[in-house]
Amino acid sequence: MENHSADIIVIGGGAAGMMAAAGAAGTYARRGVQGRVIVLEKMPRPGRKIMITGKGRCNFTNLKQWNEFSSHVHPKPNFLKPSFYNLTSEKMIEFMEANGLETVVERGDRAFPASHLSSEVVDTLARAARNAGAEIICSKEVKMIEKDTCFRLACADGSSYSCSKLIICTGGLSYPQTGSTGDGYRWAEELGHSVRPLFPSLTAIVPKGYKDIPSSPDTSKGNKGHIDRNTPLSETGEFLKGNQLKNVGISIFVDGNEVQSEFGDLDFTDGGMEGPIGFKVSRKCVNALANGSKVMASIDLKPAVDMEDLSSRIRSLWDEISKDRRNSNKLYKDRFRIMLTRLLPMSLIPGFTRLHPNLDHKTLAKTLKNWKMEIVGYVGYERCVITAGGISLDELTSKTLESKTVPGLHFAGEVLDLDADTGGYNLQIAFSTGYLAGLSAAK
């Protein structure tokens, strides 16, 4: 097959890739330059991972200002700063609306398509890239990259491409069925770059006894603590699954030391503990488990009430229930259950009492304020939201996303050693870094 040439090739048609193409092609158009920009996407259509973002609703950015936005970015938020200021969250919304997407902003400064359909975000990004002059070629899997006087790409179907500038936006390892299989990390290493250790983030963390595992979690190299999402739930897990706890606190202890404390909503699912604060603490939990540390979680079910006031309230409630003539002939366990229904969601009581078989009205306050659960594992790349770790930021120029050692090579998006909390931050990182990489390559 003949070789196809372009000025700029973007590998990966996800959030970063389509924004890189729009930025590069748009720069050529504004300068009146006849430059060819091609996106090579190995899946049948672009934006497959965007399609499942936010359960299909696609929280595509967060409108917090840099000082607060950056506090949600790991591990080196300052590296992102030039990209973010080049394309802020507000500018991203303007970009989407200018390309035909109606948007809305909801609680927590989170922006969504007004339709709450992620497919419209994908269509808007693809339309923006194509309208700028870029070509998006799907079902085109790159297998090998070589660099001499230019970049030479060999594809699985036998075709080949060459370009003077290359932008790698292949994503991470999360949700591999969407095409994220870690190709970019391998190519980066082959081209002389180093990759920081990779691990799942924004994922379910698994308490001890939650899953029906016959032995300890997988402890193979690089996989310590991984528990596949499809592992059956234990009876305790079945009791807890489906509970959504609102406005609770969670603190994480690694080897006995508190490392993180969060407040918000926590969900028990078929994977483990998730929800906004479950995801938020998962990064530190996974990292600690991977390093062989012991991880404990302490859930505060009544964070708005201090221990003394809660204890007093429980004593008063117990007296009221005990003195009620309707309860005079009831057993202790039945009166105690009546009290639990005044303090906890009904659906949570079976699992909660199963985990605390010796619980009584005297120890209840302490347990409600400090529900301890050992964290023994986590759901891996098969269902995590984002991949932490990635291409070392020390080897890239933050103002251009270009390699310091391979001229003309740029990286953007999840393939970088940049990740963030849930809430629209990760997609904004992809948009901002992709757009800056595209602008820089075209200049």
Which residues, 6+ apart, have CB-to-CB distance to 15 below 8 Å?
Answer: 47, 49, 50, 125, 413, 427, 430, 431, 434
Q: What is the CATH number of the domain that holds 37?
A: 3.50.50.60
Mean pLDDT confidence for 127-153? 97
Q: Is the pLDDT of residue 215 over 60?
A: no
Mean pLDDT confidence for 144-162? 97
Measured CA to CA, the distance from residue 22 to residue 136 in angstroms comes to: 11
Residues 190 and 42 in one domain: yes
Three-class secondary structure of residue 170 per DSSP: coil
pTM comes to 0.93
Burial 96-118 (b: 16+ CB within 10 A, else e): beebebebeeeeebbbbbeeeeb
Q: Is the pLDDT of residue 221 over 60?
A: no
Tell me: the pLDDT tens digits for 173-204? 999 988 889 999 999 999 999 999 999 999 99
75 upstream amide cis, omega within 30 of 0: yes
Residues 181 and 85 in one domain: yes
Question: Which range, of 177-181, 205-209, 225-229, 232-236, averages the lowest pLDDT?
Answer: 177-181
Residue 237: name the closest of 213, 272, 204 by CA: 272
Q: What is the per-residue pLDDT for 353?
A: 96
Phi/psi at 14 (nearest 5 deg)? -95, -155
Mean pLDDT confidence for 152-172? 97
Alpha carbon of 109 to those of 91, 104, 203, 421: distances in Å?
Answer: 14, 10, 22, 14
Kindly indicate the confidence band of residue 219, based on its pLDDT and cuts at 50, 70 and 90.
very low
Helix ranges restricted to H, 210-329 = 235-240, 275-290, 307-323
Residue 28 · residue 133 · CB < 8 Å: yes
Q: What is the per-residue pLDDT for 214?
A: 62
Provide the domain limits for residue 34.
Answer: 3-200+385-442
Tell me: the pLDDT tens digits for 55-76? 889 999 999 999 999 999 999 9
Residues 231 and 163 in one domain: no
Residues 258 and 278 in one domain: yes
Report the half-sphere exposure of 229 (CA within 13 A, side-chain side).
15
Q: What is the per-residue pLDDT for 106?
A: 96
Residues 370 and 412 in one domain: no
Residues 73 and 169 in one domain: yes
Q: Angle of helix 15-31 relative to helix 425-442, nearest 10 degrees?
A: 30
Q: What is the per-residue pLDDT for 1?
A: 62
Q: Which helix (H) or strand (E) holds 258?
A: strand 257-268
Residues 166 and 264 in one domain: no
Residue 243: name the closest of 371, 366, 363 by CA: 371
Three-class secondary structure of residue 72 per DSSP: helix
Q: Which of 365, 383, 401 corresponds to the end of one domain?
A: 383
Average pLDDT, the chain: 95
Kindly indicate the confidence band of residue 2, based on its pLDDT and cuts at 50, 70 and 90.
confident
Which residues, 6+ apart, have CB-to-CB distance to 42 below 8 Å?
Answer: 138, 139, 140, 141, 142, 156, 179
Alpha carbon of 317 to those of 336, 344, 372, 394: distances in Å?
Answer: 10, 13, 24, 59
Residues 299 and 435 in one domain: no
Residues 379 and 400 in one domain: no
Tell me: the pLDDT tens digits for 3-39? 899 999 999 999 999 999 999 999 999 999 999 999 9
**What are 14's two structure tokens?**
């996800």
Tell me: the pLDDT tens digits for 77-136? 999 999 999 999 999 999 999 999 999 999 999 999 999 999 999 999 999 999 999 999
Q: What is the per-residue pLDDT for 54?
A: 82
Q: Is the pLDDT of residue 220 over 60?
A: no
Residues 393 and 281 in one domain: no
Indicate the number of domains in the chain.
2
- β-strand 244-254 against 257-268: which pairing, if any? antiparallel
Q: What is the per-residue pLDDT for 98?
A: 98
Q: Is the pLDDT of residue 222 over 80?
A: no
Residues 307 and 418 in one domain: no
Show the beta-strand stretches assigned E in 304-429: 371-378, 386-391, 396-397, 402-403, 409-411, 419-420
Residues 195 and 162 in one domain: yes
Q: Which helix (H) or strand (E) holds 200?
A: strand 195-201
| CB burial of residue 407 (10 Å; 0-12, 13-18, 19+) | exposed
